[in-house]
A and B are shown apart, each in its own frame.
Chain A
Amino acid sequence: MAVNKSEVEKKVIDIVVERMEVSRERVTPSTRLIEDLGADSLDIAELVMEFEEAFDISIPDDEEGVRSVGDAVNFIVSQLEASGD
């Protein structure tokens, strides 16, 4: 099943905008959660859980690669594609 990447990106940005209370213009694929949005460890933990719930996937605890919004989108897309087989 083909995963619509731009839909995933929109949803991820929706979640980040709402949770981090920032304006939409500030959030692009290259926005880094910690350095640009000031997310702390609890914010990251909550965001990860929201992504898991919104996309019905599991994100392992030691997933180190997610630093930017774009990283999150790519990761989620690859999880959805893998489970869609």
Chain B
Amino acid sequence: MDSGRRVVVTGMGAVSPMAPTAPGTWDGMKAGRIAIRKIQSYDSTKHKVHIAAEVDDFGLDKYMSPKDARRLDRYAQFALVSAGEALADAGIEFETDGEKRRVKGLDAERIGVIIGTGVGGMREFEEQTYRLMEKGPGRVSPLLIPKLMPNAAAGNVAIFWGLKGLSYSASTACASGAHSIGLGADAIRSGQANIVLAGGCEAPITRVGVAGFENLGALSSNNDPLRASRPFDKDRDGFVIAEGAAVLVLEEYEHAKARGANIRAEFLGYGFTSDAYHITAPDETGDGPARAIRLSMQAAGVSADEIDYINAHGTSTLYNDKIETLSIKKALGEERAHKVPVSSIKSMIGHSLGAAGAIEAVVCCYALQEGVLPPTMNYVTPDPDCDLDYVPNEAREADVKVVLSTSLGFGGHNACLAFRRI
């Protein structure tokens, strides 16, 4: 659609294993720090996998008392803190009227919330299942359903800040964060909202959840925390599971200018496609992601020569990294593909599923603002199937104007987002 309404990013917030803030996350990435360690969320002795990228204290108490925090599963708590940081970053202020918060100077009915997740409140579901087994159905918490439902992150953010525009959760597994951002931009372009808090969140590091991923064969069985996540490297063998969240404040451009907001980047558009192939494996032809990349370029009105960087999905699995490489070549052409740097931050913070696309969008905005590309860490041995420039092992200064971010979800959901420096 072309309503003439442009979408910009005016605020960012993130809670990641690297740091519980967006700037902290970005600083750690520029330094190439690997935020993966031995699992502390539960006793992993009987499991095959002993490592994960976990979040420690993330400042929830700044927003909620323990009583109020109990109403949110961890995944929604991450979203709430990220949204809080993003709103403050955007200079959007609130006044309190008793218990309620009200936005100052803006129309709350024109502010929306779209926050996606892959598995939602799985942790709460697991805990209540144990309770049922130990004490019977009468002891299952009345909060189970409000905590586990995938829309709880979006719902609680809207409730906490009194945001009355459209709100929902977009769910596409590992691409949820990306889809949520694309849809948030659509809501602004279509005139439904002036501002949308858009992002993703995930807290999947639980006994049952990780066991499921282990037995699916998706996770690295290399239990060396500093070496397991190695996207595009010849010795990659699966991803490292992670948790976290990120939220962007997307805003209509004129609206942002009128209130003097600090504009971080412009969101140009997206490409969404489906593999229509397999529920967990990517299509070997790379056709789905290639089409998503090309569609995002069309939406952005840019040619392959104008793409300065691609933030890859780059999970560190054998198939994703090989097929994603192929799809980049298909989309940009073999020659251009070799000239565009591609990197994966999952080398540093693992794969946070529904949060990943949103954290990666935050990283893209920083890359554009600062002219720095985050590295792909642990890149030691090149793989003939992955022969692009992956910004190995060290962040790199680069004058970037247009960047793409790809996210490919279980179920064959492909998303590519396009951002431009402004």
List A residues at the B interface (Cβ < 8 Å): 19-21, 42, 45-46, 49, 52-53, 58
Closest to B65 in A: A21
**In the complex, how many angstroms separate the beta carbon of A79 from the nearest chain B beta carbon?**
14
- CB <8 Å contact, A46 and B65: no
Total A-B Cβ pairs within 8 A: 21
Within 8 A of A (CB), among B116-137: 135
Q: How far is the CA of A42 from the CA of B141 in the complex (A)?
A: 10
- CB <8 Å contact, B139 and A49: yes
Q: How far is the CA of A20 from the CA of B138 in the complex (A)?
A: 22
List B residues at the A interface (Cβ < 8 Å): 65-67, 71, 135, 138-139, 141-143, 146
- CB <8 Å contact, B65 and A45: no
- CB <8 Å contact, A52 and B142: no
CB-CB under 8 A from A46, the residues of chain B are 141-143
A contacts with B: majority SS: helix
Closest to A19 in B: B67
Q: How far is the CA of A27 from the CA of B36 in the complex (A)?
A: 46
Q: List 15 A-B contacts (CB under 8 A).
A: A19-B67, A20-B67, A21-B65, A21-B67, A42-B142, A42-B143, A46-B142, A46-B143, A49-B139, A49-B141, A52-B138, A52-B139, A53-B135, A53-B139, A58-B138
**In the complex, how many angstroms separate the beta carbon of A11 from the nearest chain B beta carbon?**
18
CB-CB under 8 A from B146, the residues of chain A are 42
Q: How far is the CA of A58 from the CA of B71 in the complex (A)?
A: 24
- CB <8 Å contact, A21 and B142: no
Closest to B70 in A: A46
Q: How far is the CA of A45 from the CA of B142 in the complex (A)?
A: 6
Between A45, A49, A53, A58, the greatest number of chain B beta carbons within 10 A of the residue's beta carbon is seen for A49
**In the complex, how many angstroms separate the beta carbon of B304 from the nearest chain A beta carbon?**
53
Closest to A45 in B: B142
Q: How far is the CA of A46 from the CA of B71 in the complex (A)?
A: 11
Sort A-B residue pairs by CB-CB distance and give the 6 closest, nearest first: A45-B142, A21-B67, A21-B65, A46-B142, A42-B142, A42-B143
**In the complex, how many angstroms separate the beta carbon of B344 from the nearest chain A beta carbon?**
41
Q: How far is the CA of A45 from the CA of B70 in the complex (A)?
A: 14
Between B66, B138, B141, B142, the greatest number of chain A beta carbons within 10 A of the residue's beta carbon is seen for B142
- CB <8 Å contact, A21 and B139: no
Closest to A52 in B: B138
Closest to A18 in B: B67
Closest to A44 in B: B142
Q: How far is the CA of A26 from the CA of B209 in the complex (A)?
A: 42
Q: How far is the CA of A58 from the CA of B146 in the complex (A)?
A: 23
